[in-house]
Amino acid sequence: MTTNGDGDADPTRRAATGPPAGRRRRDPEASRGAILDAARAELNAHGYSRMTIRRVAARAGVTHGLVMRHFGTKERLFLAAIPGPQRLGAALAGDPATLPERIARAYVDRMETADADDPFVALIRSAAANDPTATRLYSAMQEHSRAAYRDVLDGPDVDARVDLIAAVLLGVTFSRYVIREGAVAAMAPATLAEHLTALLRPVVLPASGTAPGD
Amino acid sequence: MTTNGDGDADPTRRAATGPPAGRRRRDPEASRGAILDAARAELNAHGYSRMTIRRVAARAGVTHGLVMRHFGTKERLFLAAIPGPQRLGAALAGDPATLPERIARAYVDRMETADADDPFVALIRSAAANDPTATRLYSAMQEHSRAAYRDVLDGPDVDARVDLIAAVLLGVTFSRYVIREGAVAAMAPATLAEHLTALLRPVVLPASGTAPGD
DNA sequence: TTCGCTAATGACCAAGTGGTCATTAGCGGT
DNA sequence: ACCGCTAATGACCACTTGGTCATTAGCGAA
């Protein structure tokens, strides 16, 4: 357990929205916001169980006591820091024939733009550690996405296929955004989208490929 | 942090190979073995960063001081507990036309049989927590598997396709063996193999599907 | 039997955790 | 100018972590 070695220190102090501060800014909303931003960053970097309130406080430029005052417990801070997943239903609607491509594009677009503090990576990290709170939230979030896919999928075995889509995207996410190593992590977004399209086609449109038995 | 709630307690004491013991068995090899078994179990359950030496010791029926005596540091215990990945090269050799099916079957067979203390799940859990040691080992293990796939794949973009295969299997692993929730986790092994075969076909044999060339 | 070797123990440590709470100090209203 | 309200602080708590080490006790050899 060496000392430390990741992340960046705060620029001046109170990293988030707010005017440059002297000391004891006394601005509860700004503090709350800074704490939440810091929590999201720490969550992304370490997952729930290794995110410490003191580190969140330090990153936000406040004391850990203030974090407790605002959020009470670590779990409540966690829940407050995780934003709800943005809707992807809209991006999926359209011609069924090009659905694989749209799923791939929607995924890549989302991950590539919102990477900085997307809760998905944080939740994967947390859920992997077998943390009950994180696992619960992760499942809820996955179910949300699955519902969107379920709406647009057609044919047999919808549940299984929806879950397979989710699994594929999960694997790519893990490889590209969590481990960040290997060809999947290195390829350009457009290339990734192309590969994903090809990969998803047989699951999204089982008729055009080989349908897996009974 | 409540008391406990997972796994099973030791039957009498000294869970692993060894005759029923009174007290202070004084059998270094049996102790080592019991500690390693306990470490693997804890690792599978919680990942590296949340596996504690004291819990490992308790599960093995020894004191945490003995664990330190045998392995010195937590990291060395970790390295000793992770067995090397078994070779899968043999299972992959054969007719290229049925390669997707063989890859799927080899994966399912391995995961379904060795699930109890397969290091893969433990490593995923650990690597997800951003633990440097675990991430290093995880990468090494993945590279090992990738090499096996690379040997049997043909056609363009081999590196990218190999990595996509690994990502797909990783996603399924995460969904089925880490989170253990959803349709992928619930389906029978044979069904999973069928779905995986269909899923992998376009990446393994890009000619027969749609090649994502540029 | 005695005795050396060392496996195994358990008390101890410094560091770090989440959480509590009395105290301090900034701001708005009067 | 004063003062109440409360945001913010920092000392403190019980507890857990990985790691150290003097002590104890089992076993084999003499």
Q: What is the mean pLDDT of residues A170-193?
A: 94
Q: What is the largest CA-CA distance in chain B?
A: 70
pTM score, two decimals? Answer: 0.81
Q: Is the predicted pLDDT of residue A4 greater than 90, yes or no?
A: no
Tens of pLDDT along B43-94? 988 889 889 999 999 999 999 999 999 999 999 999 899 877 667 778 888 8
- Which CATH number applies to B26-80? 1.10.10.60
Q: Is B44 helix (H, G, I), strand (E, B) or coil?
A: helix
* Domain-wise residue ranges, chain B: 26-80, 82-206
Q: Does A174 touch chain B (CB under 8 A)?
A: yes
Q: Phi-psi bin for A157: left (phi > 0), alpha (psi -120 to 50), beta?
A: left
Contact by Cβ (8 Å): A137, A82: yes
Straight-line distance from CA A54 to C1' C16, in Å?
Answer: 10
Contact by Cβ (8 Å): B81, B39: yes
Q: What is the C-alpha to C-alpha distance for residues B204 and B210, in angstroms, rounded to an integer?
A: 11
Full DSSP string of B87-119: P-HHHH-S-GGGHHHHHHHHHHHHHHHSGGG-H
In this prediction, what percent of chain A has a pLDDT beyond 90? 54
B positions 120-139 inside 8 Å of A (CB): 124-125, 127-130, 135, 138-139
A positions 45-64 inside 8 Å of B (CB): 45-47, 49-50
Q: Which fold has domain A82-206?
A: Tetracycline Repressor; domain 2 (1.10.357)
Q: What is the C-alpha to C-alpha distance for residues A26 and B22, in angstroms, rounded to an integer?
A: 64
- Which among A41, A205, A19 has a CA at the least distance from the CA of A117? A41
Question: Burial code of B85-100, b = ≥16 C-beta within 10 A, e = fewer?
Answer: beebeebbeeeeeebb
Q: What is the C-alpha to C-alpha distance for residues B203 and B196, in angstroms, rounded to an integer?
A: 11
CA distance A212 to chain B (A): 5
Q: What is the C-alpha to C-alpha distance for residues B63 and B56, in angstroms, rounded to an integer?
A: 9
Contact by Cβ (8 Å): B15, B60: yes
Give me B40's structure tokens. Answer: 């693997």
Helix residue spans in chain A (DSSP H): 28-46, 53-60, 64-71, 74-81, 89-92, 99-113, 119-128, 132-152, 158-173, 183-186, 189-204
Q: Does B169 touch chain A (CB under 8 A)?
A: yes
**Between B10 and B119, residue with greater pLDDT:** B119
Q: Is A23 helix (H, G, I), strand (E, B) or coil?
A: coil
Q: What is the C-alpha to C-alpha distance for residues A74 and B190, in angstroms, rounded to an integer?
A: 42
Tens of pLDDT along A74-119? 999 999 998 776 677 788 888 999 999 999 999 999 899 865 667 7
